Amino acid sequence: MTSAGVDLLCLAPHTDDAEIGLGATLRLLADRGRRVWVVDLTRGELGSNGTPDERWAEAARASALLGLAGRLQLELPDGFISPDDPVQVAATVAVIRLLRPRWLVTAPAPVRHPDHLATPRLVARAAFLSHLAAYRPGRPAGRAWRDAWPDGDPARPWRCEAVLEVCPPGQPPGLLFDVSATWEAKLAALACYGSQFDAATGRRPTLINDRAFLDEVDRWALRWGFLAGVTRAEALRTTAAPVLDDLPRERWA
């Protein structure tokens, strides 16, 4: 296998999910010079508000604010993400192989929405299959922000260093990112999604365009931050453990 093409790839079911679950961390890593990509698995065609094209335009503005190196949107069926669908698995394996990430992260936390619950299981299966040479999917359909569709061969195996997911509220985190300095950038990115968070006249009321939703997102960042001894943090979890050859520079919370 060749060297990684991307430092971190965030796979999310819908546009705005990466920003909700991990937006401040994405900007933090981008500011460190890391190549950070997001892949939205669906077009969000079942969303209560906003058309897929409107939401994609919002995602483009948010991607620029977060300093992403690139963003893709696949065409998996909104509301029906499934780790048992070979077509969906093949598309997910293909983008992993095209981007060759060191770290693979799913967002937002796997709670409530069936697509949010299914995405970590889909990605775990795809991450495993992505390093099997005999598994050879084709290039998936979709669109790319800035037309930056990655080059490469989706049939070429790739093994990620780590597969993680945004930690659900109340669960023990595996690691915490201090995002105190990039929290405002996350809020600015979320503000790009007016179709989702702005309860303007004519919008259908939803869980996420109630102001209490963003207040809750902030409360959890403050709770994770309290645990880490910083102002705000975002939390990830994984079933794996890091393999070290020295004491790490970072401190432990």
Are the CB atoms for 14 and 115 separated by under 8 Å?
yes
The verdict on residue 137 lying in a domain is yes
Distance CA 210, CA 215 (A): 9
The verdict on residue 247 lying in a domain is no
Determine the structural domain holding residue 145 and report its residue range: 6-237
- Whether residue 202 is predicted with pLDDT greater than 80 in this model: the reply is no
CATH for 60: 3.40.50.10320
The verdict on residue 250 lying in a domain is no
The verdict on residue 244 lying in a domain is no
Q: How many domains does the chain have?
A: 1
- Whether residue 63 is predicted with pLDDT greater than 60 in this model: the reply is yes
Rounded to the nearest integer, the mean pLDDT of the chain is: 93
pLDDT in tens, 96-146: 999 999 999 999 999 989 999 999 999 999 999 999 999 999 999 999 998
The verdict on residue 248 lying in a domain is no
The verdict on residue 175 lying in a domain is yes
- Whether residue 1 is predicted with pLDDT greater than 70 in this model: the reply is no
Sheet holding 233-237, edge to edge: 142-144, 70-76, 36-42, 6-12, 101-106, 162-166, 233-237, 175-178
In the prediction, which pLDDT does 203 show? Answer: 81
Are the CB atoms for 214 and 199 separated by under 8 Å?
no
The verdict on residue 253 lying in a domain is no
pTM of the model: 0.94
178: which strand partners?
233
The verdict on residue 30 lying in a domain is yes
Residues of the chain above pLDDT 70, percent: 98
